[in-house]
Chain A
Amino acid sequence: MERVRKQNDHKRFERLCALALTDSLSIKERRDIELHLQGCETCQARIQDYSQIGEAGMGLVAGSLALTEAAKHWDDQKAREKLESSILDNGPGGASKGKLD
């Protein structure tokens, strides 16, 4: 009985790990998950997993969804030439542009 209760309690933190990445936590939930994370390596790993899925994994999903449509018919030649010219313009190792840093 006690074990089931603990599992249910932990389920709540597992949910909060995912929701911690969003704008939807209440103040109490934020405080609870923050405290919990200090002592739970499982949830530390879990929140990194969610973050990794959000940062890179969903990109793969986006790519695979889009490849069936717009990207299939995209002509990359113009972008290739533009990239070449921006590299030549800036010179290798030269001034960076935009968000490079």
Chain B
Amino acid sequence: MQAELQGSLCAVQQTPRVCEQSDETLMELLRTQDSQALDALFSRYARLVYGIAFSILHDSGEAEEVVQESFFYVFRKPFAFEPSKGRARVWIVQVAYSRARDRKAHLTRRGFYVRADIESLGLEDTLAGKNDVENEIGARLDLRKLQGAFDDLSSAQQETLKLYYFEGMGLREISQRLSEPLGNVRHHFYRGLERLRKNALVERLQSHSNGKSTKAERPQEI
């Protein structure tokens, strides 16, 4: 049986009760199709979602479409959010980011080969979290630290990661765009991503392949 919409999507009609709830509680309320909960989440994150989409798509209309699609999905599929795997904010960002990238790929007809490469590597299980560390992902990385960490990357690393993740370009294409050898671009990509990872790693789980703590290990250029 379909649940009734509770209230309308109007910020001024949010009750204090809903506004004061945590994101995770709002996600729970969404399971009963509570549109006030959606309204509250929209108020908190629509601008962030728009910002993500705009930075990838560079078009206001397209970015608004991603906002629509993302929150429509959040409303329709609240059960897809698993609290044990991380914060609701990160999940919403993930929903928005993946839609923006899909749209970018659709618009530019690029990006599909990356997925094909992963499949050909036989890495789907690893990337999908179907191994021993599945439940540790949320705990291993504090993604909020990435925002500051990105600013500390070299301009070449920032440019490479932006072109790859926001523009949907492959590394070979980036190499041509920047007139740099592919080897250099690979280096920027790896070093940038690794520095982000090190910054986001939750300290208690930092460990080296040789068993030594990496607590004192700082990001460094090679």
Query: Which residues in A have some Cβ–Cβ distance to B below 8 Å?
Result: 3, 7, 10, 14-15, 18-25, 30, 33-34, 37, 40-67, 70-72, 74, 76, 78-84, 86-88, 91-94, 96-100
Contacts and interface: CB of A to CB of B under 8 A. Distances in A.
B3 A62 contact: no
Contacts, number: 235
Contacts of B38: 83, 87
Contacts of B5: 87-88, 92
A52 B102 CA distance: 16
Provide the main secondary structure of the chain A interface: helix
Given A20-B123, A58-B161, A87-B72, A76 B47 contact: yes
A1 B164 CA distance: 38
Interface of B: 2-5, 8-11, 33, 35, 38-39, 42, 46-52, 54-56, 60, 63-64, 67-69, 71-73, 75-77, 90, 93-94, 96-100, 102, 113-114, 117-118, 120-123, 126-127, 129, 131-133, 136-137, 140-141, 143-144, 146-147, 150, 161, 164-166, 170-172, 182, 185-186, 189-190, 193-194, 196-197, 200-201, 207-210
